[in-house]
Amino acid sequence: MLSLTLERDSHEGLFPIRIDLKTDAQIIALSGPSGAGKTSLLKMIAGLLTPDRGHLSVAGTVLFDSEKRISLPAWQRRIGFVFQDNRLFPHLSVKNNLAYGRFMNGLGHDPFHEAHVITMLDIEKLLARDIGELSGGEQQRVAIGRALLTKPQLLLLDEPMSSLDANRKREIQPYLLRLAAEGVPMIYVSHNADEIAELAGFVVSVEHGIART
């Protein structure tokens, strides 16, 4: 169960944004024209942008509540974020990019989970490489893997498949569906109507920074 109401006034040249969501759906799609504020909404949920008012709880844990003055910093939220521009760390190898979240969260080694994610994304042969040597699609797969390996309690995906070919998409989609079924909710930004239809249980349209259900 995902419950959130977050609102942010106009700051630093960004227009005001607002999202209101209460749903049992495990995969929620945000759709809308580019520049509508979808990425800003995701950042606000992740804690990278601070809301002025609202409430956010994931699986019963309160992450933000303006009335109770609760605001967990982004790094303690365990919210995975797959950015549209992948944002892999250029000074670390693929292997260390993947291990970064586990290390920072003090998680133990989970060889089964790691092997599964690595196989599913077909990035095993990339592990020793530098980020600069990867193609766009490879980078995006590593970025998805990096977010998954932190075992997030909520996964935010900002057009994660835009640089993947159709075959790879077909392989990743079922994994995302299964992950959702296992209890990791996702908020998913996409322009692609087919993708949304196949994945999302709940669609929110975003216009001028306002998310409407």
Partner 1 sequence: MMDWLSLSPQEWEAVAISIKVAFWGTLASLPIGIALAFLLSRKQFPGRALLDALVHLPLVLPPVVTGYILLIVMGRKGLVGQFLADHFGIVFSFRWTGAALAAAIMGLPLMVRAIRLSFDAIHRRHEEAATTLGASPIMVFLTISLPLAWPGIMAGAILCFAKALGEFGATITFVSAIPGETETISAAIYAALQTPGGETNVMRLALVSIAISFAALLAAQAMTRKNRSRQGGL
Sites of contact with partner 1 (CB under 8 A): 43, 46-48, 73-81, 83, 85, 87-91, 100-101, 104-105, 130-134, 146-147, 150
Minimum separation from the CB atom of position 100 to partner 1 (A): 5
Element (H, E) at 211: strand 210-212
Minimum separation from the CB atom of position 176 to partner 1 (A): 18
Minimum separation from the CB atom of position 144 to partner 1 (A): 13
Element (H, E) at 206: strand 202-207
Beta bridge mates, 28? 187, 202
Give whichever of 46 and 120 is closer to partner 1, judged by the CB atom: 46
**What is the crossing angle of helices 166-181 and 111-120, to 10°?**
150
Give whichever of 58 and 210 is closer to partner 1, judged by the CB atom: 58
Instruction: 190-193: list long-range contacts, CB under 8 Å, 24+ apart.
Output: 190/29, 190/30, 190/31, 190/159, 190/161, 191/31, 191/34, 191/159, 191/162, 192/161, 193/31
Minimum separation from the CB atom of position 180 to partner 1 (A): 19
Give whichever of 106 and 183 is closer to partner 1, judged by the CB atom: 106
Minimum separation from the CB atom of position 101 to partner 1 (A): 4
39-78 residues labelled b (16+ CB within 10 A) or e (exposed): bbbbbbbbbebebeebbbebeeeebbebeeeeebebeebb
Give whichever of 9 and 75 is closer to partner 1, judged by the CB atom: 75
Give whichever of 8 and 43 is closer to partner 1, judged by the CB atom: 43
